[in-house]
Structure 1
Amino acid sequence: MLQQDEGEPLPEGFRVTHKPKPTDGKHMLPPSDAEIDRLDQQHFIMRGNKQIEEFVAKCCGSGLWALEMAWDYPNSFFIGVDVVEMYPKEGDLPPNVTFQTVDKLHDLPFVDGEFDYVFERFMVFEFTPDDWRVTIKELTRVTKSGGWVELFEHDLAALKRVPKNMH
Structure 2
Amino acid sequence: VECLVNEGVEVVFGIPGEENIPLLEAIERNGNIRFVLTRHEQGAGFMAATYAHITGKPGVCLATLGPGALNLTLPVAQANASTTPLVAICAQGNVSRLYKESHQIIDLVSLFQPITQWSSMMLAPSTAPEMVRKAFSIAQRKRPGATCLVIPEDISEMSVPENAKPLPLPRP
Q: Indicate whether the TM-score tops 0.5.
A: no
More helix by share: 2
What is the TM-score of this pair, normalised by structure 1? 0.33
Q: Which has the larger radius of gyration?
A: 1
